[in-house]
């Protein structure tokens, strides 16, 4: 398997990314070849570390900063590490591309260069939903689409369901629509319109509306919402997690909210495997991003999503 990584992405670039790649590439049973994308001046001091037979360094002329406008940066910086990596992915020179840099730029470049799966107009980002039982659910979307149509939420349900099946082992995941009440008539214009679509949709097990308190108590496996709502949920959980850590709280369930243990999130709905990591990703996080990318590729998630979308009546 060929795995591409943007070495320029993240607050600790390129050091933490390179540590992870070298660590993984040095393992005796490593069956992956790594393509490291980055500016020559930034990678210069790591030449010796990266001198392994299963690591290929691709020097790029530029990189995209965390604070840059995603669309403008992707259009202007054709030779950035993100764009070059996405080109390699689109041309099937690599099987997956990972990055912890500008999330918007990763999304835009994936849309322009790799392209969405037919039938998917709005790819989505997901996050994990740790459950009391020890299982891991999925929340879609968590920031890619602040405003959505009801039909978009129904497609998020398919994306999340297939992801939960392929990566987290659910046979028939329960899908819930995040709302302010359990009753079908509750919610805003979008959720009210989405409810009957989801209820009648083939290929998913829709259980109705779910509230915020239901997300971590084994009441739902895949929760769908617009990216605005999803991002607020994720950032609230993140803030709560770090505040409890500062207070010295230690608990097995609390530890499941540590993003480092999951690595990152795939851009669901793209033709190839693209993984986006947290900006403060370290070596451990990158190692888990690599693990996640392998799971997604080996599970053939993309082809399963393509099949599910083609079999629905919402294209």
Q: What pLDDT, in 10s, does the model give residues 105-124?
A: 999 999 999 999 999 999 99
* Length of the chain counted residue by residue: 315
Q: Are residues 92 and 170 in the same domain?
A: no
Q: Are residues 165 and 248 in the same domain?
A: yes
Where a domain ends, among 208, 229, 259? Answer: 259
Q: Which of the residues in the chain have pLDDT under 50?
A: 315
d(CA 204, CA 201): 7
Asked whether residue 312 is assigned to any structural domain, the reply reads: no
The tokens describing 29, both together, are 């049973």
- pLDDT for the residue numbered 259: 82
pLDDT in tens, 144-181: 999 999 999 999 999 999 999 999 999 999 999 999 99
Asked whether residue 7 is assigned to any structural domain, the reply reads: yes
Q: Are residues 87 and 71 in the same domain?
A: yes
The CATH number linked to 93 is: 3.40.718.10
Asked whether residue 190 is assigned to any structural domain, the reply reads: yes
Helix H segments across the chain? 15-25, 40-43, 70-76, 81-90, 103-109, 150-168, 189-199, 227-246, 252-255, 283-298, 301-311
Asked whether residue 308 is assigned to any structural domain, the reply reads: no
Query: CB neighbours of 213 closer than 8 A, spacing ≥ 6?
Result: none
Write out the residue range of the structural domain in which residue 27 sits: 1-120+269-299
Q: Are residues 204 and 83 in the same domain?
A: no
Where a domain ends, among 259, 288, 307? Answer: 259
Q: Are residues 105 and 140 in the same domain?
A: no
Number of domains in the chain: 2
Asked whether residue 97 is assigned to any structural domain, the reply reads: yes
d(CA 87, CA 97): 10
Q: Are residues 126 and 252 in the same domain?
A: yes
Query: CB neighbours of 168 closer than 8 A, spacing ≥ 6?
Result: 135, 136, 137, 138
Asked whether residue 304 is assigned to any structural domain, the reply reads: no
Q: Are residues 144 and 62 in the same domain?
A: no
Q: Are residues 108 and 66 in the same domain?
A: yes
- pLDDT for the residue numbered 313: 56
Long-range contact set of residues 194-201: C-beta below 8 Å, sequence gap at least 24: 194/150, 194/151, 194/153, 194/154, 197/150, 197/151, 197/153, 197/154, 197/314, 198/153, 198/154, 198/157, 198/224, 201/154, 201/157, 201/158, 201/312, 201/314
Asked whether residue 264 is assigned to any structural domain, the reply reads: no
Asked whether residue 19 is assigned to any structural domain, the reply reads: yes
Q: Are residues 42 and 82 in the same domain?
A: yes
């Amino acid at each position: 398997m060929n795995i591409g990584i943007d070495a320029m992405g993240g607050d600790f670039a390129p050091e933490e990314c390179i540590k992870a790649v070298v660590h993984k590439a040095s393992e005796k049973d490593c069956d992956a070849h790594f393509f490291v994308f980055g500016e020559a001046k930034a990678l210069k001091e790591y030449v010796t570390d990266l001198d392994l037979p299963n690591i290929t360094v691709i020097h790029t002329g530029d990189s995209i900063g965390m604070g840059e406008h995603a669309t403008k940066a992707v259009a202007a910086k054709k030779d950035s590490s993100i764009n070059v990596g996405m080109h390699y992915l689109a041309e099937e020179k690599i099987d997956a591309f990972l990055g912890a840099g500008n999330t918007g730029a990763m999304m835009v470049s994936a849309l322009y260069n790799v392209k969405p799966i037919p039938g998917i107009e709005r790819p989505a980002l997901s996050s994990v939903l740790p459950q009391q039982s020890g299982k891991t659910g999925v929340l879609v979307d968590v920031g890619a689409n602040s405003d959505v149509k009801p039909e978009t939420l129904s497609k998020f349900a398919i994306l999340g369901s297939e992801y939960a099946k392929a990566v987290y082992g659910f046979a028939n995941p329960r899908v819930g629509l995040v709302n302010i009440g359990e009753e079908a008539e509750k919610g805003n214009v979008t959720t009210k319109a989405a409810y009957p679509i989801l209820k009648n949709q083939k290929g998913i097990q829709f259980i109705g509306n779910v509230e915020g308190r239901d997300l971590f108590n084994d009441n739902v496996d895949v929760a769908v919402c617009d990216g605005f709502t999803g991002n607020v949920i994720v950032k609230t959980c993140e803030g709560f997690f770090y505040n409890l850590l500062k207070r010295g709280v230690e608990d097995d369930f609390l530890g499941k909210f540590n993003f480092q243990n999951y690595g990152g999130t795939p851009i669901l709905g793209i033709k190839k495997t693209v993984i986006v990591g947290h900006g403060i990703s370290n070596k451990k996080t990158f190692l888990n991003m690599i693990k996640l990318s392998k799971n997604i590729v080996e599970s053939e998630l993309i082809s399963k999503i393509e099949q599910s979308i083609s079999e629905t009546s919402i294209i």
